[in-house]
Amino acid sequence: MNKLRPIILALVVAMAGLLAYGLWTIPSPKPADYEGFSSARVVEDIAVFSKEHHSVAHPEERAKVREYLVERLQGLGADTVMLYGYDSLVGPKNRHVVYTFDADNILAEFAPENASDSTAYLMFVAHYDSRYSQPMPKQDTVWSYGAADDGYGLGVTLETMSHLLKQRADWKQGVKVLFTDAEEVGMYGMTAQWENNREVFDNVGLMINIEARGPMGPALLFETCPGSEKIMDLYADVAKYHYTYSLTTVVYTFMPNFTDFTIVKDYIPGMNFSTITDVNHYHTDKDNFSNICEKSIQHYGEQILPIAQEYVMSDKYADKDYFRTDKDTVNFTIPLLGLFNFSKTIYVVINVVIFLLFLIVFGLEKVRGRLKSAAGVFKVSAIVFASAIGALLLGEGVAYVCAAIAGAKFKLFGTVQGVQFDNAAMIVTAVLMTVASVLVYLAGRKKAVRASSESMRNSAAATAASHYAYKNLYGVLTLVFILSVVLLLALGENMMFFIPLAFTVIAMVLYHLTGLKFWLPVAIFAILLHAFSFYFALSMALTIGAFGAVMMLAFFDIMVMIPLADLYLISKKK
């Protein structure tokens, strides 16, 4: 075995992790004197928003935030700033407390110089109320300060507007800013606006809603409207530091969280952005000024400002219905490699190509004797599938134990809040599962080598090890292939299985064509880039309550990469 190869593999894993978790792939915070979008200037606004609790149970404090926002919007040069008041609203029960409150939405309009009745508008939406009382395990009831949720939305909107207005003379479309009230009690402000004053949305061609489900981590474009093809084309073309998965729009429909965008997304084309780390800061007293993250704030701006600039400056969006379509795209982000955005048709074609390549390579491996029997391959597939179910059960078991230790309410595949050590528990469990998988694989390989030949010659041992690696690789690839086909047919979304399948099949084709093992660690690197990033997002969004699902999906990637790495390390090729 080449002595450098283990070192190269270790570097591949380390570099993929560093890149996936933000090194060089997420923007650094920018100071207040920076000419572009500056997180530091956003922080100045958040310091004001988050001084006090300002939920529906704090009308005086909420009024102070509202007055500040009105002054800021007027200071930016809004043509009009209006308040839409809705009186005596009754919120849902919260620990046997029912809040009765008034809601006052703030609407500011910034028209282009040559505005007409048909002028299309971009609308920013964020809410200015903070979360009401929240019971926490082993704590008294806590109240949020709303620094991230939704101080991020308010501050990012104001900072974005300050830059857009520098080019107002060249605007072709206008901008509306809607800061809603009473979002936290059930989107009451947006609902009242939609039901009673829908005319303010009549000429809105694009909506950008900004939320924060925790103060840290990258800003994720986690939801779009139905028929998002043209919206995703815009995002792909102009946004920087992309971070999105079309799958999250599907997943979000099954989650108990909603936003103001939920009320209108079937009627108005739009995007929904949010940070998703960490749930233990979400809706609690930890959502305060001391815990805000400038890097996360900067990431919002780097994505949203270019989109807003393109929309207001280009003639192509003069038609407010420009983004309306019944077509969606399949998209996902891989750190360093960027955003992959495909039409449904193109995505199916790419899948079919990879599926055919897999079948061809599988057949050639069998013909060339690297796969001794199809039965052995399918046996590996069955074992891996059963083990994946075990990983799911293990993950949910860990989640249950962690919730019990923390005194938190466990919800199977649901949001579990109040486990302060959840991230550490998930990381340790995933690492232990990976180590155990490697050890089991090595034990099986040792047994296979002994059984294949009584000779202790290095060449015989290497040949037996190579056959074992091929059998395990194609066993798990066969399973991943089947799951990819099933999910593609059922949902039109299969990237969690398709990505490891595609990179591995391409690497194996290139390896056999060129004879260079270089392609194998390249495939591992690409799979890890996606896996680290996607499973981080998934675990943060679903929380430890759905850790079993994350463990099961990650297990498939692990079982692809182990034999792939083994083939790279084995000196003799057959």
Its sign, for the CA torsion 527, 530, 535, 538, is negative
pLDDT confidence bin for 573, thresholds 50/70/90: very low
pLDDT confidence bin for 256, thresholds 50/70/90: low
Confidence (pLDDT) at 254: 62
In the predicted model, what is the mean pLDDT of residues 36-53?
97
pTM for this model (two decimals): 0.92
Q: Choose the weakest-confidence range: 32-41, 46-55, 415-424.
A: 415-424
pLDDT in tens, 504-523: 999 999 999 999 999 999 99
pLDDT in tens, 351-403: 999 999 999 999 999 888 888 888 889 999 999 999 999 999 999 999 999 99
Q: Distance between CA 263 and CA 280 in Å, rounded? A: 26
Confidence (pLDDT) at 89: 86
Homologous superfamily assigned to 39-334: Zn peptidases (3.40.630.10)
Burial class (CB in 10 A: 0-12, 13-18, 19+), 448: middle
Q: Choose the weakest-confidence range: 16-25, 26-35, 77-86.
A: 16-25
pLDDT in tens, 165-196: 999 999 999 999 999 999 999 999 999 999 99
Confidence (pLDDT) at 574: 41
In the predicted model, what is the mean pLDDT of residues 93-101?
72
Confidence (pLDDT) at 100: 85
pLDDT confidence bin for 549, thresholds 50/70/90: very high
User: What are the DSSP calls for 139-178, one per residue?
Assistant: S--B----TTTTHHHHHHHHHHHHHHGGGGGG-SSEEEEE
Residue 551 has pLDDT above 50, yes or no: yes
For residue 319, say if its preceding peptide bond is cis, omega within 30 degrees of 0. Answer: no
Distances (CA, A) of 510 to 300, 421, 513, 517: 38, 43, 5, 9
Q: Mean pLDDT of all residues in the chain?
A: 92
pLDDT confidence bin for 95, thresholds 50/70/90: low
pLDDT in tens, 309-323: 999 999 999 999 999
What are the structural domain ranges in the chain? Answer: 4-20+355-569, 39-334
Q: Which two tokens stand for residue 308?
A: 């807003």
For residue 150, say if its preceding peptide bond is cis, omega within 30 degrees of 0. Answer: yes
pLDDT in tens, 453-501: 655 555 566 688 888 999 999 999 999 999 999 999 998 999 999 999 9
93 or 324: which carries more pLDDT confidence? 324
